Amino acid sequence: MTLALGIDPGTATTGYGLVRLMPDGELVAVDYGVILTPKEATPSARLEMLYDDLNKILKKHKPESAAVEKLFFSRNVTTGIAVGQARGVVLLALQKAGMDIYEYSPNEVKQAVAGYGFAEKRQMQEMVRTLLQLEKIPKPDDAADALAVAITHLNTARYE
């Protein structure tokens, strides 16, 4: 049974999702949610909070591997830089924890989960709910996105 951690990085909100691949091929959601940082905190304090909270998740669940969504931004460079900083902190925490780290672009995640690289957010959320046999779509969106990243990794790793 393999446990993978998926991460959707952000400074204000970082989504995380832990998915277990069972011996029969079933995917099971173990835990998911978001790491929130207060907007009134300094950028460096927010990054430290992200690092500390991610380490708590790693210690609690001890996943075998981690997958992080690659950075994608088209218009707002300031937002892209902040997300890049959060992504760097995530990668550092995972590296220091000795994790095997994999990275997937948003289109790779959409292709792996919905079968279409340009799937809409609602399609993705519904596919995550279906694949993990959840009663409701995981909330908030960042948590559903992180679960999708974990699903992508587990499904990709089966064939490598």
Active site residues: 8, 69, 142
43: its two tokens:
């950028």
Give the phi and the psi of residue 39 in degrees, each rounded to 5: -65, -20
In whole angstroms, give the CA distance from residue 33 to residue 45. Answer: 21
Signed CA dihedral, 133, 35, 100, 123: sign only = positive
Contact (Cβ atoms closer than 8 angstroms) between residue 14 and residue 47: no
Q: How far is CA 80 from the centre of its chain?
A: 17
What single letter denotes the amino acid at residue 38?
P
Give the phi and the psi of residue 141 in degrees, each rounded to 5: -55, -35
